[in-house]
Amino acid sequence: MNVFNFVGEVDQKALYSLALTGIEIRLLLAFIFVGFWMVAITYLQFMYLWS
């Protein structure tokens, strides 16, 4: 039971820290996601044009 209580406390602290930095994390993930799709779409367009 002590292990589960410890994990619960760690989860609460992690969720609290994520809540504080949630905006920055979401912006970073959105930036990475958009950048990944831009690269993927550009790559697919080149593959389609050169095939």
State the amino acid at position 5 in one-letter form. N
pLDDT at 35: 95
What Cα–Cα distance (Å) separates residue 39 from each residue in 10, 33, 44, 49, 51? Answer: 37, 10, 9, 15, 18
pTM of the model: 0.45
Cα dihedral 24, 28, 33, 34 sign: positive
Residue spans of the domains in the chain: they are 2-50
pLDDT at 7: 63
| pLDDT tens sequence across 8-42 | 676 777 766 666 666 777 888 899 999 999 999 99
